[in-house]
Amino acid sequence: MSLKNSYTTSDYLEWDSMLNLIRKLYRDGNTRMSLLLACGAFFGLRISDLLNLTWEQLLNNSTLIIIEKKTKKRRIIKINSQLQGHIKDCHNKLGITDISEPCFLSQKKTIYTIQRINILFKEIKKKYNLKIEHFSTHSMRKTFGRQIVKMAGENSEFALIKLSELFNHSDTMTTRRYLGLRKEELLETYDLLSF
């Protein structure tokens, strides 16, 4: 729960910064957070769906099928081959023997709570000096969306249509607002003026 009149919107991380962070966390032994950020950035899922993933779902599969917790809709996700390699590396590094085990267990062997993940993300932001104002669990999903739009280039409108469907938004305007694109477009208006 947020405080009254507080700003709770999360920001996205630049794609290269996200990839560097994933690599640094892995290198520094924070394997589960490395995997969480990787899955979040490559799948575009909400944190509630990410936290329920098991090793069995991620290992040796090219697709992931889930029922989204919030919308109750079925979603099929293609697992990028490079991400599959990272998943296997994390699995091996953690020494997982039971593949039915959830991927994101705390030291107490319970699934992390969203609140705990947000606390860890604040610590990660500080430790790795991330250039992002509001870094939270939703940042992964926004990073995913922003990268899809950026990679689409001239076809960004088509990418927004696809993202709108993936995110279960009612229209592309909602997706624009969600990704912060609408705000950027409006602020660019001021750049049209000269002095």
Distance of alpha carbon 127 from alpha carbon 81, whole angstroms: 29
Please say whether the beta carbons of 77 and 66 come within 8 A. Answer: yes
The CA distance from 67 to 7, in Å, is: 30
- Superfamily classification of domain 15-146: Intergrase catalytic core (1.10.443.10)
DSSP 113: P
For the chain, the domains span: 15-146
List per-residue pLDDT tens for the chain, 195 residues long.
Answer: 444 544 457 899 999 999 999 999 999 999 999 999 999 999 999 999 999 999 999 998 899 999 999 989 888 999 999 999 999 999 999 999 999 999 999 989 999 999 999 999 999 999 999 999 999 999 999 999 999 988 888 888 888 888 888 888 888 888 888 888 877 766 776 776 767
Rounded Cα distance, 33 and 49, in Å: 15
Q: First vs last Cα of the chain: how many Å apart?
A: 45
